[in-house]
Amino acid sequence: MPREVVACQSDREADMIRTRPCIRSGRFPSFEGYAHMNRAIETQVLIVGAGPVGMTLALDLAWRGIDVVVAERRRPAEAPSVKCSQISARSMEIFRRLGVARVLRDAGLPADYPNDVVSCTTVTGIELSRIPIPSRGERSGPAAGPDAAWPTPEPPHRINQTFFEPLLFAQVAAHPRIRVLNRAEVEQFVQDERGVTTTARDLDSGEETTIVSTYLVGCDGGKSAVRRAIGSELRGTPVIQRVQSTYIRAPELLSLLPGKRGWLYFSLNPRRCGTTIAIDGRERWLIHNFLYRGEPEFDSIDRDWAIRTILGVGPDFRYDVISQEDWIGRRLVADRFRDRRAFICGDAAHLWIPHAGYGMNAGIADAADLAWMIAAVLTGWASPGLLDAYEAERQPITEQVSHFTAGIAELIMKQRREVPSDIEAPGAAGEAVRARIAREAYAIDVQQQCCGGLNFGYFYAQSPIIAYDDEPHPAYTMHDFTSSTVPGCRAPHVWMDGRRSLYDALGPSYTLIRLDPAARASGLVAAAARRGVPLAVVDLEAPEAALYGRKLVLVRPDQHVAWRGDAEPADPLALIDLVRGARVTPTQAAAAATERATLSAP
């Protein structure tokens, strides 16, 4: 049984922890108080959990020159259960910056396997609607479909977590700045003004290790013990729907598919609706049987019957169960993402029914947001006040995504409850019913499977480190978005000099994008230099650059806009201090936290 992580807050408890033996390398002079320890690992950041979010955070911190230790219960490269099947475009943009996008894109479904999303009566039955989504081979050339023209250097990528986690792990394990402690379970930590001291147990030998770090980040999943240890609670709807998920091997199924193959099938029939996802494009499939209201237990429905009904196959159809997982779709967001030096990211901070493929991908966005902030503080050019921006930015966004996904879940549940009994009827009457349901299904499916708003539309509206102006943020939905340089938005992507991504030209820290080569930038450059803030200047000339709308746009290390103007601000140093977190007062931070708590109160 995994043990609970305990955050020891009192001096007495802290003293008890500090008497544990540890090794001291002496590299971090701020840890003078731990000098008596004779067996400890020291690092700048300890990450608890090497799931996709913990590994992304580790890679991003290391990319920014930070030393990281990752403690993970699992064995090296041990595959997770079959869960997330897609990496969003925005996540792929992050992986592109980290230099791992190519490795991930070269894996997954076979290059020519269609990524289409199909609604049908059953997987082997009548097709109702189809969203064309380019295969990964087609992504390299001109492609068609609702997401094909998205303004990004990295379109979405269909690959299951079982395949990409080991690939990500190989990158993490090979990185000289990252040390992974596998089979290590974090049990407790204590923090004070100097740092965090954590105890982890080796699950094979039973030995204890002490890890001394400046910061700790819990990326330890939905049952996060770090979340509990920092006194954070999940708020929202604890049960939206129960789901029976079964991972099967069925070599016959591909040959039974009518017409062009698809990646994801939504079965709509009056007997049993469900979702089927191609995992390897050959013989492995993941089938989600979303239980209906009035089916309160996971075993309310016969699993084999449900699988055969969703697929539309008879008793002779053969399949093996590789694994099965029963889980609950929720809508929960943590009421705080941080306690002083300890943070939470990913499923540790929010859990929702993963419609739109935005469970893991929202966690990857958390990691990208937090990584640059911690790195900036540790590198010395930002004030610790910068870290207040993490919760202020990510909590409202994840709250919003949780409502989007709960909303789509309601639509899907309604759609499934109301499938007409004559949907499979022959002739004109049946066809008319199918045409109507096809239109409705397409409208629901395209929102979530081509969720441009979740990828590119979200913006940070309440951040203490963004200089807002008078223009309101453009509204967005799960599906729709408007690229914009309103501060807080993702900097619009444009191609430079033909096919060079603007994102590849940005510096690792702040970048001032200059749309008019005559615009003066020397004041900002000098102010940044005075505060030690790395600032690159990029002159942008591209036909699409008009949508930047201003002569100067200051872009953050995570590609969001921090400020814009047609001329430098009157006080460039004040702006630089704002964006490096030096103007966030404790009062401002407390007021923002209170406002957020009010907004997210049930």
Ligand X SMILES: Cc1cc2nc3c(=O)[nH]c(=O)nc-3n(C[C@H](O)[C@H](O)[C@H](O)COP(=O)(O)OP(=O)(O)OC[C@H]3O[C@@H](n4cnc5c(N)ncnc54)[C@H](O)[C@@H]3O)c2cc1C
71 binds ligand X (CB under 6 A): yes
Of 159 and 513, which has the nearer Cβ to ligand X?
159
Q: Are 525 and 537 in contact (CB under 8 A)?
A: yes
Instruction: From residue 329, give the alpha-carbon distance in Å to each of 160, 179, 239, 415.
Output: 19, 34, 6, 17
> Which residues ranging from 363 to 382 are in contact with ligand X (CB under 6 A)?
363
* Residues touching ligand X, count (CB under 6 A): 35
360 binds ligand X (CB under 6 A): yes
Rounded to a whole number, what is the distance in angstroms from the first to the last CA of the chain?
32
Of 216 and 389, which has the nearer Cβ to ligand X?
216
Of the candidates 210, 228, 276, which has an alpha carbon nearest to the alpha carbon of residue 2?
A: 228
Q: Where are the alpha helices (DSSP H) in 347-387?
A: 360-379
Out of 114, 145, 155, 221, name the contact with ligand X by CB under 6 A. 221
487 binds ligand X (CB under 6 A): no
553 vs 494: CA distance, rounded Å: 14
219 binds ligand X (CB under 6 A): yes
Q: Are 17 and 188 in contact (CB under 8 A)?
A: yes
Of 138 and 185, which has the nearer Cβ to ligand X?
185
From the list 38-46, 356-364, 479-487, 523-531, the region that binds ligand X by CB under 6 A is 356-364
From the list 22-30, 206-214, 346-354, 477-485, the region that binds ligand X by CB under 6 A is 346-354
469 vs 342: CA distance, rounded Å: 32
Q: Are 229 and 189 in contact (CB under 8 A)?
A: yes
Of 348 and 582, which has the nearer Cβ to ligand X?
348
Out of 24, 64, 83, 394, name the contact with ligand X by CB under 6 A. 83
> Which residues ranging from 277 to 336 are in contact with ligand X (CB under 6 A)?
327
398 binds ligand X (CB under 6 A): no
391 binds ligand X (CB under 6 A): no
The pair of structure tokens assigned to 535 is 């600032």
The pair of structure tokens assigned to 469 is 């102006």
60 vs 171: CA distance, rounded Å: 11
> Which residues ranging from 22 to 41 are in contact with ligand X (CB under 6 A)?
none
- Least separation, in Å, of the C-beta of 157 and ligand X? 12
545 vs 435: CA distance, rounded Å: 42
DSSP class of 459: B
From the list 15-23, 34-42, 44-52, 520-528, the region that binds ligand X by CB under 6 A is 44-52
- Least separation, in Å, of the C-beta of 325 and ligand X? 6
The pair of structure tokens assigned to 73 is 């219960």
357 binds ligand X (CB under 6 A): yes
232 binds ligand X (CB under 6 A): no
Of 451 and 496, which has the nearer Cβ to ligand X?
451
Of 343 and 548, which has the nearer Cβ to ligand X?
343
- Least separation, in Å, of the C-beta of 201 and ligand X? 9
From the list 49-57, 209-217, 292-300, 410-418, the region that binds ligand X by CB under 6 A is 49-57
Of the candidates 356, 390, 355, 352, which has an alpha carbon nearest to the alpha carbon of residue 371?
A: 390
Q: Are 24 and 34 in contact (CB under 8 A)?
A: yes
Residue with the two structure tokens 């942008």: 540
> Which residues ranging from 172 to 211 are in contact with ligand X (CB under 6 A)?
185-186
> Which residues ranging from 243 to 272 are in contact with ligand X (CB under 6 A)?
245
Residues contacting residue 176 through CB under 8 Å, at least 6 positions apart? none
Of 63 and 169, which has the nearer Cβ to ligand X?
169
253 vs 311: CA distance, rounded Å: 9
The pair of structure tokens assigned to 336 is 């705080």
DSSP class of 546: G
Out of 236, 359, 457, 569, name the contact with ligand X by CB under 6 A. 359
- Least separation, in Å, of the C-beta of 224 and ligand X? 7
235 binds ligand X (CB under 6 A): no
Backbone angles phi, psi at 2, to 5 degrees: -60, 140
Residues contacting residue 50 through CB under 8 Å, at least 6 positions apart? 58, 70, 72, 74, 169, 172, 180, 182, 219
**Residues of the shown chain interacting with ligand X in the complex, contacts defined by CB under 6 A:** 5, 48-54, 71-74, 80, 83-86, 161, 185-186, 219-221, 225, 245, 327, 346-347, 354, 357-361, 363
